[in-house]
Amino acid sequence: RWIRTAPDPRQKFARMDITPPAPLESGSRFVIGGTDPSERSYVLPGATPMVEQLLTDPTTPFNWEDTYSQWGQLLGTLHASPAPVEHEAPPARTRVRRWWNGGDLHSDPWRVESRALFFDELNTECVSSLTELFNDARRDGNTLVHGWAGFGQSVFDRNSENGIAAILGEDIGVANPEFDLGALLAQSVELAVFSPPGTMPQPSQCRAALLHGYSATAPREPDAGELNASCIEN
């Protein structure tokens, strides 16, 4: 059972029309509901996020290409779902955009200073390019997206043919479908860079597996340019 708390009282949790199975002892979906506006309980088939197993238990057997393919299938199914008109951009994207443009510092001296130090490490061309990328409204899209896709949001489901279960919660929003795919591609780059040599497949292999799984369930093929932009954004 996982419990997550909203980052801000004004940030509403996502609600989806899912009837949880009784008696809620197991299952590959979380449970949404209750009257507490700041806390939700998630019932999942595993107690440990995949990323925690990866970082703390190197003996865990990971079939990375199969895992990326499964994530692709899950995202394709999600992206084929109707997008509620009341949803806005994923909260994570909104927070990053506000921070990048200096509108989410709340006059906090530490945050102002840390942001300035971050920008000091970037050259002018990089700042200009990323500013254009973050503020391009054409990239907002109208697809229901996960909003925080990655191995920190999934667990192994030993009782499922698919093998993994993903949390879909308050991070959802409306964007181009490449936003989710880019998050997983960016994570594959991080894993390749920071993992011991030979323990992770090349990002190109992860990309091929992700798109292969995605093509099985998605309503359309992703745009290559937008996919690259979303990878950079994430």
For every residue of 73-118, DSSP letters joined together read: HHHHHHHTSPPPTT--S-HHHHHHHHHHTT-S-TT-HHHHHHHHHH
What is the radius of gyration, based on Cα positions, of the chain?
A: 18
∠ at Cα 207 (201, 211), nearest 5°? Answer: 140
Instruction: Say what the pLDDT of residue 40 is.
Output: 58
Instruction: Say what the pLDDT of residue 11 is.
Output: 44
Instruction: Say what the pLDDT of residue 74 is.
Output: 92
Ranges under pLDDT 70 in the chain: 1-44, 58-61, 85-86, 160-162
- Using omega within 30 degrees of 0 as the cis cutoff, is the peptide bond preceding 21 cis? no
Instruction: Say what the pLDDT of residue 15 is.
Output: 41
Residue 28 and residue 21 in contact, taking contact as beta carbons nearer than 8 Å = no
Cα separation, 110 vs 115, whole angstroms = 9
Cα separation, 76 vs 5, whole angstroms = 27
Instruction: Say what the pLDDT of residue 41 is.
Output: 58
Instruction: Say what the pLDDT of residue 30 is.
Output: 39
**On the CB side of 161, how many CA atoms lie within 13 Å of its CA?**
1
Residue 110 and residue 144 in contact, taking contact as beta carbons nearer than 8 Å = no
Cα separation, 211 vs 53, whole angstroms = 24
